[in-house]
Amino acid sequence: MKYASVTERLAGLGGAKWAVHFEARKLQAEGRRVIELTIGEPDVATPQILIDAAVRGLEAGRTGYSNGRGEAGLLRILAARYSQRRGRPFTPQQFLALPGTQTVLFLLLAALTDAGDEVLVADPMYATYEGVIRASGATMVPVQLSPEHGFRLQAADVAAKITPRSRVLFLNSPHNPSGAVLTKDDIRALGELAVEHDLWIVSDEVYEDLVFPGVSFASPLDFPEFADRTVAAASISKSHAAPGFRSGWCVGPEEFISRALPLAETMLFGNQPFLADATAAALASPSDVAGGMAERFKRRADSLYETLEGVAGLRVHRPEAGMFALIDVRASGMSGERFALDLLARTGVAVMPGESFGNGLAGWLRVSLTRPDAELAEAAEAIAEFAKQRVAA
């Protein structure tokens, strides 16, 4: 039987990257105790205001079809939110509501690239980025991030990878997996490069509200001079502890939104009205849970650093935002994948191998900060003992 070429392009880019996570779930199902530090599930329940708004919508019969752009009330709330945060006016016509950031990113790359086009993206990167890039036939061009630069994308490194086929500069700040946050100067330099080479900027900003205390968030949307070439994606999954709601959006120039609308309508025709109502209620005021999560995740990252930094050659990268910390385990002589699989088998601690996030993180681990303090401390001690045994062997 014959298949479309997209199935070949995406082979191995889906669940295969999460093999350690699935193995951990399998062990749990068999009754083994596992400390799961693999995925970014918020550590608090979905706020009651979202649940109440969704229930009210259901009870009011808000279960019919939406339109392709999204519900008018949500689009108005989004326009007001971005106008206030970015310091310039946004209109409802600059937004599309979609089911989660993943769907948004698929739409953006499909709308901006064709076969043979190149997308510049930081390496390491979130595990699904290669898939959303390659789905359209575009070519991913990884730009190596450096721990010495705090895993912040450098304009000079991007410039060295630009070719006549370059079409999109794909940004992610706050960054998953490193937790790095691009500064305003970083954004300005990258934006100027995009202007010089006529590149679109796609900006994944899903962790904006989980910036740690004392750290400032910046977006290319802050700069009017980049407005005609920037499209950004976000959702309530992280900021409002509602990943199962699958409620996200994109924001960009009105012309882009108009051109992308038929594609969005072909994929799915708008998000669910009762979930749009809940999302509007969530975004009408600051998140009740984001600040607390950011403080806890910073404290846990600091604790992880204090326990593991320098032990058996381990190095810990301290994040500035988000839900994860990185551990360099190259001194063990093992790949990140081998370390993670053996750690899980021997100790019941499940972490993600860095290789799942690109070649730039080979020999590293990504550790979720979303488990309770005591569990994370127990896991850190297990990682330390495992690393010591590897060095002694």
- Do the bridges between strand 324-328 and strand 315-317 make them parallel or antiparallel, or are there none, so unpaired? antiparallel
Contact between 239 and 293 under an 8 Å Cβ cutoff? The reply is no
- Give the separation between CA 360 and CA 35, rounded to whole angstroms: 26
pLDDT tens, residue order, the chain (393 aa): 988 888 888 888 777 788 999 999 999 999 999 999 998 889 999 999 999 999 999 999 999 988 889 999 999 999 999 999 999 999 999 999 999 899 999 999 999 999 999 999 999 999 999 999 999 999 999 999 999 999 999 999 999 999 999 999 999 999 999 999 999 999 999 999 999 999 999 999 999 999 999 999 999 999 999 999 999 999 999 999 999 999 999 999 999 999 999 999 998 877 799 999 999 999 998 999 999 999 999 999 999 999 999 999 999 999 999 999 999 999 999 999 999 999 999 999 999 999 999 999 999 999 999 999 999 999 999 999 999 988 766
Tokens of 283: 């975004």
What percent of the residues of the chain are helix, what percent strand, and what percent coil, each to the nearest 5? 50, 15, 35
- Give the separation between CA 50 and CA 72, rounded to whole angstroms: 18
In the chain the domains, ranked by start, together with CATH numbers, are: 5-45+289-392 (3.90.1150.10), 48-283 (3.40.640.10)
Q: CA nearest 175: which of 320, 13, 37?
A: 320
- Give the separation between CA 384 and CA 121, rounded to whole angstroms: 33
> Would residue 74 be called left, alpha or beta, if left means φ above 0 and alpha means ψ between -120 and 50 degrees?
alpha
**Sign (positive/negative) of CA torsion 193, 199, 205, 208?**
positive
Coil vs helix vs strand at 230:
strand
Coil vs helix vs strand at 153:
coil
Tokens of 216: 């400032």
Coil vs helix vs strand at 273:
helix
Predicted TM-score (pTM) of the model is: 0.94
